[in-house]
Structure 1
Amino acid sequence: MNISLATITETNEIAKFIARLNQQKSTHIGYVGTEFEEIVATLEDDFVLENGHLSFVILKNEDDEIVGAIGLDIDENSAEVWGPFGDSVSEEALTILWQTTLEQFPYVETAHFFVNLENITQQNFIEQLHPKKTGEHLTLTISKENFVPLISQRLVPFQTGDEKDFESLHNEQFPNTYYDAKTIITRINDNNKLLLLKNEQQELQGYAYFEVKPVFGDASLDYIAVSPKHQNQGLGTLMLKEVLQEIFKYDNIIKINLCVSNDNDQANHVYMKAGFKKENILLSYTLER
Structure 2
Amino acid sequence: MLISGAGIAGLTLAYWLARHGLRPTIVESAPELRTGGNGVDVRDDAVTVAERMGLMNRIRELATDVNGMKFVDAADRAVARIGIRETASVEIMRGDLVALLREVADDVKIRFGDSIRALKQDAHGVTVAFERAPVRRFDLVIGADGMHSNLRRLAFGPEERFVRHKDHYFAFANADGRLGEDRWVTMFNTPGKMTGIYRSGTHTQAKAYFIFRSERLNCDHRDIAEHKRLVAEAFADQPWQPTRGLLEAALADPDFYFDALGQVRMDSWSNGRTALR
Q: TM-score, normalised by structure 2?
A: 0.32
More helix by share: 1
Q: TM-score, normalised by structure 1?
A: 0.31
